[in-house]
Structure 1
Amino acid sequence: MNLLETLHEFPAFANVPDAQLQWVIDRSEEVSYPKETVLYKPHEPVDHLLLLLNGRIRIDAGANGADDELIVYGDHSILGVLPFSRMKSLSNRLITERPTTLLRLHRDNLPDLAKNCYELTESLVHQMTTRVRDYTKLTQQNEKMASLGRLSAGLAHELNNPVAAVVRSVDTLNTHLRATPEAFKVVMNLNLTSDQVDCVTDVFFKKLDQQSTVDTHRLTLLERTSLEDDVTDWLDDHGVEDHMDLAGPLVGYGFTVDDLDWILEKIGDENLAGVANWLVNNLVTEKLVSDIGEASKRIATLIDSIKNYTQMDRGVGKQEVRLAEGLRNTVTLLAHKIKSKHIDLTLTIADDLPVICGWPGELNQVWTNLIDNAIDAMPDGGKLEISSQPDKRSEDEAFVLTKIIDNGAGIPEDIRDKIFDPFFTTKEIGKGTGLGLDIVQGIMKHHNGSIKVQSEPGHTEFSVCLPV
C-alpha cells in the first residue's frame, strides 16, 4: 500500500481530495522508530505535524519517575502541531510503545497548507477542537480524582478517631456492665427512705444537667488533681473503700466536698459507701454513653459534610449555592491537614452572605484546591484566614468576595504569571497534580467570576469574586 492509500485509511481524511493529501506527502518525510523510543521529552519544542501510519505511541509522565500512562495513540492517529494551533511543546513525554512509522510535516508548511488545502485544513482544525475537548475532559477528570484521593485520605483520618472512640467506649461499657449485678446487691441492702432516694437521684441528675452546660474539662491539671485529692481524703476519712477509684468520676461530674457533705447529711454514714458506689457506677455509664454519642455525632457530621461536598443528592444543573456551606464542608474535610500542621485557622463568613447561582460541586473544587494549596505552602504553626463577604459595586452589580490568605513563603514574582497554566506546579515530585489552578480558573469563567492573586513572602492572598 502506497502512502496516498495509507492516508486515506485515516478516518479524518476520508473525504479529503487526493491532491491535498499528495501535497502533504510531497513536503513530508517518512520516519520509523523502534520500540520505547522517546520522541519528545517534556518541554522540548514540537515542530512537526505527526501522522501515525502504523505503530503505537503513548503520552506518559515518565519524566517524573513513574510511567503513568495518560493517552495512547494507535494506527491512523494525528499528533503534534496542527494548523492554527498554539502548541509549542508538550508537558509530558511522547514515546513509542512498539515499532512505529510516522509521516512528519514541519510546522513551516502549515501556513501554505491552510491556503492551498481547504478540506484538509478543515479536517485538521476539527481534529484540534476534538483534542482540546478531550484534553479538557481528561484534566478535569484527573483533578477530580486527585481531589478525591486527598479527601478520601482526610475522611479516613478524621473517621478513625471517632470510630476508635466508639469501639473503645463500647468495650469499656461492656466490661463495666458486667459489674452491675454486684452493684445491685449493694443497693438492695441499703436502708433508704423514699425521700432519701429522691435526694440522691436529684443530685445525680442535677450534676448530669450541669455537665451538659458547664465544661468541667476546662480545669487545669493542677486544679483537677487538687479537687481529686480533696474528695479522696474525704471518702477515706468516712471509711469508703476504693476511694481513689471513686474520686475521679465524681470530680469529673463536678462533685465537691460540699456536695458530699450534703449527701451524707441526707442519707447517714451507714449508707454512704453504697450510695457513693451507686453514683459512680451510673456516672461512668453516663460518661461512656455520652462519649459514644459524641463520637457518633462526629461521624454523622463528617458523612453529612462529604455528602454536601460531593452534591450526592442534587442534580447536575445550575442551582442556588450557599457558599458558607461549601466553605465549611471543605474546611471540615481538610481538618486533618490543618491540625497536623498546627495551623491557626480563622473562618469569617458574613451572616448576610447572598445566595448565588452556579454549580455547587465545581465551586467546592475551587475551595478544595485553594485551601489545600495554602496549607501546603505554610510552615507548621502557620496562619490561614478564610473570609467571604458581600461586595456590592453598584445598584445593579452584586458580588460575593471570598479571600483565602496564608502566611507561607509566597509565590515568586517570576512564576506568578504561570500559576494558572495547565500542569504548572511549584511542588516537589509526587506532591500535587499541577492541574488545580488551571481548573479553578476554568470554573471561574464558567461562573462569570474572576480569581486574582497577590503574593509576597509571608502573605499570599487569593481573591475569588462571584456574581450574585
Structure 2
Amino acid sequence: MGKILVTAYLLFSSIIAFADKPDTVVINNNQSTLLTNRYFYELEDTNANLTINNVLNKEFYVIKNTLPTFKYTKSTTWLKFNIKNDSTAPFITISIAASVIDEFDLYYIDNTTTNIRHLVPDNAHNDQVTQNIMFINCPVLPGTSNTIYLRIKSSAPNVIPIKVYGTYAFLKSRNIENITTGVIIGVFIVMALYNLLLFFIVGDRSYIYYVCYILFFGLSQVLKRGYGGNLFTTDKTILNNYIIPLVRVLFGYSILLFISEFLQLKQNLKRWYKYYLLLYAIYSILLVAVLCGMVVTAYNLITISTCITSVSLLIIGAHLYFGNGFKPAKFFMLGWGIFLISILISVASNRGFIPYNNLTTEIVVYSSVLELILFSAALAEKINFYRFQKNESQNFALAVAKENERLITQQNILLENKVRERTNELIATNKNLSVSIDNLMSTQKQLIDNEKMASLGQLTAGVAHEINNPINFVSSNIAPLRLDFDELFVLLNKYDDALNNPEQSSLLSILNNYKQKIDINFIKEEITILLNGIEEGANRTAEIVNSLRAFSSTDEQILKTTDINKSILNNLLILRSTIPYYIEIKPVFDKLEPLHCYPGKINQLIINLINNSIYAIKAREHHSDESVMIITKDYADHISIEITDTGIGMSDETKQRIFEPFFTTKSIGEGTGLGLSIVFGIIEKHRGNIEVISSPGNGATFIVTLPKNLA
C-alpha cells in the first residue's frame, strides 16, 4: 500500500511539473514578445550574493504573477528561460526599461565551448538613440535555441517589463518610442511656455506654480522612460536612488503649491487649511528618506504619498465645487479625477495587481495630456471668474460713485456756507495762534537755555570740585615748603657767622650741630617732592581750564578743526567728579584725523550722552561691574562715536520717543526732556545720524555717525 502511494505521489508531481513547465520563447525577424510567467522560472536572491555558479545549482520556480516583480524586500532576481532564434540575424535582443533598474546582465552556456558567457547591456557605449533603454544582444544562431539566465537588481518595488525582440522589431520599437517621447516632451514644453507667458501677462501666481508642476511632471515621465543618463548622470545608483525619487518629491511639492494657489485654499478652506499642510509634511518625510539613502522606504513612501495626495485633492475639489460653489474647481475636479484614476491604474499595474500592457504603461502619460488641457481650461475659467468679480465690483463701485456724487452735491451747498463761517472764525483764531506760537517759541528757547544752564550748573559744581583738589594739593604743600626754606635760611645765616668770625671756633661747632639736627639731605628730598606736587596740581588745574575753554564755545556758528578723541577726554575730565566710584570709564579710540565741525556743539553732545549713560547706571538697584565704554572708529567718509552703558536699558516704545522734546523717563525735577532733543538737533546740524540699540535690563548703545566732508 505504501509503495502505491509513493508511486502515485511521484506520478502526480511529474504531471504538475510537466504542466508548469514554461514555454520556449520563439523569435523571428519582426516579432517581439513580453517575457511573462509563461516563459520563465524565477529565483529570488534577497541578499544579492549569488553568482552564476551558485545559480546553476539552485532550483528555480514558477511564479503566479504574470511579470517578474520586485516586492518590498526583494533586491535581486534571477530569471531562467529558453529562447529559440527563428530570425535571420545571429543574435536576439533582450531589453528592459532603464527606469529604476540598478543592474541588468545576462549569462548563457556557449553550446560550442560549454563555457559560461557573461553579457552586460550593449548601450553603455552605444549611440543616443538607444541610451534610454537597457538591452543586450544575446548571440543565438538562427535555428538554434539556448537557456538564458538574467540577473536584475533594483531597490524600488516594481514590475520588470522584459521584452525579447527580433532585430528589425527592436529597431522599429525604438524609433516609435523615441518619436512618442519627443511628442510628449514637446507637449510639456509648449504647455509650460504657454502658461509662463500667461503668468507674465496676468501676474497670477497660479500660472508659475502650474509651470513648475508641468516641468517636474514632464521630467518625471522622461526619467521613467530612461532618459536620465542624457540629462543627469550615467551612474545608475545615483540616478535611481536619489535623482528619480527627488524629482518625484519636487513634483509633489509643485502639485500642492499649484492647487493651494489655484483653489485659494487659504481663503476657501480657512480653519481646515492647517490639515492641508500635513500633505507637505508627508513629502518632507519622503525628502528626508531620499536624502538619508533609505531607497526602499522612499519608493514605498512615494506610492503612499501619491495615493493620499490624489484622494485628498479630489475630495478638496469636490468640497469647493459642490459645497462652496467655487466654479474654477469644476475643471480641476474633472482633470484631477482622470489623473487619479490613471495613477491608481499605473500603481496597480506596477505592483502586479492588474495586467501590465501598453495601455496601463502609458495611461499616466495619456491622462496627463488630457489633464493639462483641462487644467488650462480651469485656469481660463478662473480668469473669467476674476473678470466676472471685477465687473461686479466695477458696477458696484459705479453705483456707489453716483450716490456719492449726489450726496457730495448736497453737502457742497452746506459746506460752502459753513466754510464762510469757519473762515471768519479761523481768521480770528489765526491771530490768537500767531501770538501763541510766538509765546511757545519764546518758551521753548527759554527751556533750551534752561537745559544748557542746568548742564552748566552741574558742570560748574564738578569743575569746582576738580579744581579744588589740585588747589588744595598746592596749598597743603606750601606750609612744609616754607618750614624747609626757613631752616635753610637759618643754616645760611650760621654759615655767614662762621665765615665772618673765623677766630671763633665755637661758631663752626654750632653750625655742624645745627646741620646734623635739621638733616640737610632730607630737606633736599622733601623740597623736591613738594615742588613736584605743586607742579602736578598746577598742571591739573591748567588741564581743567583748557577743557572748560573748549566746552565754553557751545554757541559758536563757525566750523573748526577739532580732535574728537581729545574732546572726549576733556569732557571726561570735566565730568570726573560726577561719576560714581563703581562706574568704570573705558575709552577705546581709533586714530582719527581732525574733524571739521562745531566744537562746542560736539562737546555738548558728548556731555549729554555720557550724562544719560551715568544716570541709567545709577538707576539700577544693584551695581556690579558697571561701565561706560566710549569707542571711536574711522571710516572712509565718516567717523563714529559709540557710547555703551550697563544701565537699565529701555523698551521699544521708549526708543521711539527719546528724541521728542520734553519726553523724559526721569522723575519730576530731575530732567527737562530736552537733552536728547538737543543732541538730535546737533547731529542734524552736522548732517550725521544716530542709532540706538537697547532692551530693558541690558543697557544701551548710542552710535553717532558724523561725516568728514561737512566743510
TM tier, smaller: 0.5 to 0.7
Residue equivalent to 2:205: none
Q: Trace 1:434-453 onto structure 2 (pairs within 5 A).
A: 434-453=673-692
Alignment partner of 1:341: what SS? coil
Choose the corresponding residue for 2:481, options 173, 191, 214: 173
Cα deviation for residue 132 of structure 1 reads: 4.9
TM-score normalised by L of structure 2: 0.35
Q: Is residue 702 of structure 2 the alignment partner of residue 462 of structure 1?
A: yes
Preserved contact between residue 387 and residue 403 of structure 1 (Cα < 8 Å)? yes
Q: Trace 1:259-270 onto structure 2 (pairs within 5 A).
A: none
Preserved contact between residue 353 and residue 388 of structure 1 (Cα < 8 Å)? no
Deviations 1:97-120 (A, max 9, x none): xxxxxxxxxxxxx99876445654
Residue equivalent to 2:641: 402
Cα deviation for residue 354 of structure 1 reads: 4.6
Q: Is residue 414 of structure 2 the alignment partner of residue 414 of structure 1?
A: no
Preserved contact between residue 659 and residue 676 of structure 2 (Cα < 8 Å)? yes
Cα deviation for residue 429 of structure 1 reads: 3.3
| Structure 2 portions without partners, runs of 5+ | 1-417, 499-511
Deviations 1:143-197 (A, max 9, x none): 110110111011011111111111100112112222224555898999xxxxxxx
| Structure 1 portions without partners, runs of 5+ | 1-109, 191-269, 393-397
More deviation, 283-292/443-452:
443-452
Alignment partner of 2:592: what SS? coil
Distance of 2:694 and 2:420 partners within structure 1: 45
Preserved contact between residue 582 and residue 626 of structure 2 (Cα < 8 Å)? yes
Cα deviation for residue 452 of structure 1 reads: 1.8
Cα deviation for residue 300 of structure 1 reads: 0.7
Query: Radius of gyration: which is bigger?
Result: 2
Alignment partner of 1:401: what SS? strand
Deviations 1:2-44 (A, max 9, x none): xxxxxxxxxxxxxxxxxxxxxxxxxxxxxxxxxxxxxxxxxxx
Q: Trace 1:34-433 onto structure 2 (pairs within 5 A).
A: 115-116=423-424, 119-120=427-428, 123-124=431-432, 126-127=434-435, 129-181=437-489, 183-184=491-492, 274=516, 277-311=519-553, 316-338=557-579, 340-357=580-597, 359-379=598-618, 380=623, 381-392=625-636, 398-433=637-672
Alignment partner of 2:635: what SS? strand
Preserved contact between residue 330 and residue 364 of structure 1 (Cα < 8 Å)? yes
Where is the helix percentage greater, Structure 1 or Structure 2?
A: 2
Q: 1:111 to 1:140 in 2, by over 3 A?
A: farther
Preserved contact between residue 187 and residue 275 of structure 1 (Cα < 8 Å)? no
TM-score normalised by L of structure 1: 0.52
Residue equivalent to 1:257: none
Residue equivalent to 1:35: none
Distance of 2:438 and 2:422 partners within structure 1: 18
Preserved contact between residue 154 and residue 337 of structure 1 (Cα < 8 Å)? yes
Q: 1:448 to 1:136 in 2, by over 3 A?
A: farther
Where is the strand percentage greater, Structure 1 or Structure 2?
A: 1
Cα deviation for residue 125 of structure 1 reads: 5.4
Preserved contact between residue 369 and residue 436 of structure 1 (Cα < 8 Å)? yes
Alignment partner of 1:453: what SS? strand
Q: CA RMSD in A?
A: 3.3
Distance of 1:181 and 1:303 partners within structure 2: 36
Query: How many pairs does the alignment contain?
Result: 273
Alignment partner of 1:334: what SS? helix
Distance of 2:558 and 2:433 partners within structure 1: 30
Name the aligned partner's letter for residue 538 of structure 2. Answer: S
**Between the two proteins, what is the percent identity of the paired residues?**
29
Distance of 2:419 and 2:438 partners within structure 1: 21
Distance of 1:114 and 1:444 partners within structure 2: 41
Alignment partner of 1:291: what SS? helix
More deviation, 121-130/141-150:
121-130
Deviations 1:62-94 (A, max 9, x none): xxxxxxxxxxxxxxxxxxxxxxxxxxxxxxxxx
Q: 1:326 to 1:275 in 2, by over 3 A?
A: same
Name the aligned partner's letter for residue 527 of structure 2. Answer: T
Q: 1:443 to 1:275 in 2, by over 3 A?
A: same
Q: 1:124 to 1:390 in 2, by over 3 A?
A: farther
Preserved contact between residue 322 and residue 356 of structure 1 (Cα < 8 Å)? no
Distance of 1:310 and 1:113 partners within structure 2: 54
Distance of 1:111 and 1:318 partners within structure 2: 50
Preserved contact between residue 353 and residue 389 of structure 1 (Cα < 8 Å)? no
Cα deviation for residue 122 of structure 1 reads: 5.2
Distance of 2:596 and 2:432 partners within structure 1: 40
Alignment partner of 1:286: what SS? helix
Distance of 1:346 and 1:448 partners within structure 2: 27
Distance of 1:310 and 1:162 partners within structure 2: 21
Q: 1:276 to 1:179 in 2, by over 3 A?
A: closer
Residue equivalent to 1:99: none
Name the aligned partner's letter for residue 441 of structure 1. Answer: F
Distance of 1:411 and 1:295 partners within structure 2: 41
Alignment partner of 1:179: what SS? helix
